[in-house]
Structure 1
Amino acid sequence: MAWNEPGKDDKKDQDPWQNSGKKKDQGPPDLDVVFQKISDLIGGLFGKKTSSGSSDKKGGGKFIAIIVAVLLAVVWFFSGIYTINESDRGVVLRFGAYHTQVEPGLHWNPKFIDKIIPVNVEAFRTMPTTGFMLTEDENIVRVAMEVQYRIIAPEKYLFSVTDADNSLLQALDSALRFVIGHSTMDDALTTGREVVRQETWEMLDKIIEPYNLGIEIVDVNLQQTRPPEQVKAAFDDAIAAQEDEERFVREAEAYQRSKEPIARGQVKRIELQAQAYSEGIVLKAQGEVARFNKLLPEYKANPEVTRQRIYIETMETVLSNTSKVLIDNKAGGNLTFLPLDKLMNKQATKPQSTSSSEIEIRSRADEKTDQDERATTSARFSSRSSGRDY
């Protein structure tokens, strides 16, 4: 019977925390008594009898069960608190099935009911592959390629296929072998490397699209393509020759770019000179026409005077650029002439700061030279000028 169960004698104090025979108004019990009572309660939970001889299994077991249940509930509640990092997304599984997706931050989930799988969606992952592959012209090359990707849909990445990374690796290997199999060995080793890279990327996207892997291809890098070791030296020489060819082409293009502006400038200069010459001739002709038009009325008014003036101006222009010789045809049998052009040139070439003695000596020398020239000329034409009038 419980200590607070109503009995026959309601006035009797049946409080288990007090000794029998003591009244309610007494002070608190000793610590030894309290510990003894707690020991009796724990023992009653396992069916033992208390020190008073009565079984306390029913009341004590209920009290302990409540305490244990509360403690378990508190532990269960606090164990459900978790944090998702900034770069992750949390995939929530409820009883093993996909339930929802949570964003970064502090969250709570019911323990033993939900399971949280964090997935990094910001990190760039790398998937390499390498191997010997057969080209279109039946040659073998060793190709190494690397693909970079990131996760964009965590739930698809986890549950669309058994292993998304392995599926991506198989798709990459398949796409690379397909592209290499449709390329020649020279293209794969030299100029066609970028084409192989682009075609492999496109083929990889097509392969993984139906599987919904939840990943995005960021970049595809063709690391190396090499021939087998037995023919490596010959292919290295071929690659070096192609590189030299490209270098020579670049040098020729640079030379062309340096010479072309100069040639264009010369062409432009010649065109401008020709245009200026053409305009000058046209303007000169127009000036001559205008001068003739002004001269025509004067000619009509006085033809003879105008004709004489034109003749004199023409002769002045012509004779100003020719050598002039003065001939005396009245000198008897000897022909005498005076080279005026030489005399004028000598006078023009004489220095301005010569002394009087030098001028006198040069005058005498010039006079003697003129006499010798006249004598020589007279002797030369003496035989020819007999009876002739020059």
Structure 2
Amino acid sequence: MTPSRFLRASPSTQAPRARLLRLSWQRVRSLGWRPSRLFNLNDPRWGKDEGAGGQQSNNNPDPNRRPGNQGGPPDLDELWRDFNRKLNGLFGKKRGGGNGGGMPPQRPDLYPSAKGMGVGFIVLILIGVLGWLGSGFFIVQEGQQAAVTRFGKLAYITDAGFHWRLPYPFEADEIVNVSQVRSVEVGRGGEVRATGLPESAMLTEDENIVDVRFAVQYRIDNVVDYLYNNRSPDDAVSQAAETAVREVVGNKTLDYVLYEGREQVASDVQALTQKILDRYKTGIVITTVTLQNVQPPEQVQAAFDDAIKAGQDRERLKNEAQAYANNVIPRAQGTASRLIQDAEAYKAQVVAQAQGDTSRFDLILQQYEKAPQVTRERMYLQTMQDILSNVSKVMVDSRNNNNLLYLPLDKLLQQSAAKTPSATVAPAAPTAVPALPAASTGAAPAAPDSSASASGVSSSSSSRTSRDTLRERNFQ
């Protein structure tokens, strides 16, 4: 029967014929003849007779020998039969053996039994179910949070730890790192086609253009808002920061942005960016805003560099002036304080001396009222003593003649000091102090006895001096 006729056979005769063809094919294979040996180019015995070389012919195969490949690689059919035998033994099916009575052993079935297939299918299902349930376990690291959704709707939020949820498609989890500080840079894009300026170019209040580049650091504060309120929260941070910096720079002058208020500009940008993000409920907190580069356009960069140098020179001169002031002012204050203290001391000295002179005058006045003549003489003698004690030469003129007497008081004082070296030398007093006429002097008071000679004047002056000294002691 040709294969075409077999295929065109009726269904009633097709099953017995197929069974017969299968048994015939198994019988041929059990004899050891395989088409693969005939057409396999990798066979080392290609083109050789199997009985050559003194080898035993396979025309009469050993019935107890297991049909195989006889030293070649294992055949797929052989592997399949081994697998079926192991599977049947696993599920309790006995191997085919001798039936007794000398009958040849039955060959194992090429396919597992229905019972074995059912048990294996159940085991596979159980393994799949366990694997499916195990897929619900997930680990949340420290500093992270996980949002669990049930059928696409938020169910709950979990913190760090080992958790389990219902497997997909019932529940799903999304882990977010809430402790990580993220960063986005603004102002590093390309140029605007309409103006030819970079995207970081901004207009100030005084209608100048400034190039501002900055970085924004932020972290996630609310996982729910971060995941479900906005499509792209990170892009929202960049757009909000750019909007905020344009508004802040637009309300400031160019000098303020470049030199004076860079820190204040960064603080205002951070506050305004956070306000915009809170309005959209992004669940993001801005930590810092850092101005990386603030400069004018390249066309006027040279002029601004000169202005910057001038500003630096101004600051340098200001610092030098401040250092000079810090050096001069304390010294001037010290000098002023010293002068004030000296003036206060001089004031106290003058006032005390004036008060002493006043008290002395009051005492002399009291004595003058009691004895005017004696008081005048004593005052005259004391005055002359004070005057003549500070001079070294005295010229004495006699009233009767024009002869002048020279008294070397300095030498006399030196001689007296040499005679009494251990004694304290008192201020030198004139030996003879004649009173000049009132007409010639005009200032000194008249002497009580002007007709005495030089020697008489000297003796009378000594007696009067001793007498005045006694009177002063009595007064005191």
Q: TM-score, normalised by structure 1?
A: 0.68
The corresponding residue for 1:23 is none
Aligned: 1:109 with 2:165 = yes
Aligned: 1:154 with 2:192 = no
Gap change, CA 1:181 and 1:328, over 3 Å in 2: closer
Q: Structure 1: where are the runs of 5+ without partners? A: 1-31, 42-50, 351-390
Bigger shift: 258-267 or 289-298? Answer: 289-298
> For 1:92, which of 148, 153, 157 is the aligned residue?
148
Superposition pairs of residues 166-315 of structure 1, within 5 angstroms: 166-295=235-364, 297-315=366-384
Could you tell me how far apart the structure 2 residues matched to 1:313 and 1:92 are?
119
Cα displacement (A) at 1:128: 0.8
Aligned-pair Cα RMSD in Å: 3.5
Could you tell me how far apart the structure 2 residues matched to 1:185 and 1:128 are?
22
Cα displacement (A) at 1:167: 0.7
The corresponding residue for 1:121 is 178
Does the CA-based 8 Å contact 2:87-2:116 persist in structure 1? no
Gap change, CA 1:67 and 1:310, over 3 Å in 2: same
- Secondary structure at the aligned position of 2:260 is classed as coil
Does the CA-based 8 Å contact 2:88-2:116 persist in structure 1? no
The alignment-based identity, stated in percent, is: 36
Q: Spell out, residue by residue over 1:224-274, the C-alpha distance to the aligned partner (whole angstroms, 9 max, x if none).
A: 122222221111111111121122112211221222111111111111111
Does the CA-based 8 Å contact 2:91-2:119 persist in structure 1? no
* Paired letter, 1:38: F
Cα displacement (A) at 1:173: 0.9
Cα displacement (A) at 1:163: 0.6
- Secondary structure at the aligned position of 1:89 is classed as strand
Superposition pairs of residues 54-73 of structure 1, within 5 angstroms: 57=114, 63-64=119-120, 67-73=123-129
Cα displacement (A) at 1:135: 2.5
Q: TM-score, normalised by structure 2?
A: 0.57
Does the CA-based 8 Å contact 1:187-1:193 persist in structure 2? yes
Q: Spell out, residue by residue over 1:163-198, the C-alpha distance to the aligned partner (whole angstroms, 9 max, x if none).
A: 111011111111112222223333333224333323
Could you tell me how far apart the structure 1 residues matched to 2:319 and 2:403 are?
79
| Aligned pairs, number | 308
- Secondary structure at the aligned position of 1:190 is classed as helix
Q: Structure 2: where are the runs of 5+ without partners? A: 1-84, 95-107, 188-199, 419-476
Larger RCO (alpha carbons 8 Å, 6+ apart): 1
**Structure number, greater radius of gyration:** 2
Could you tell me how far apart the structure 2 residues matched to 1:182 and 1:309 are?
94
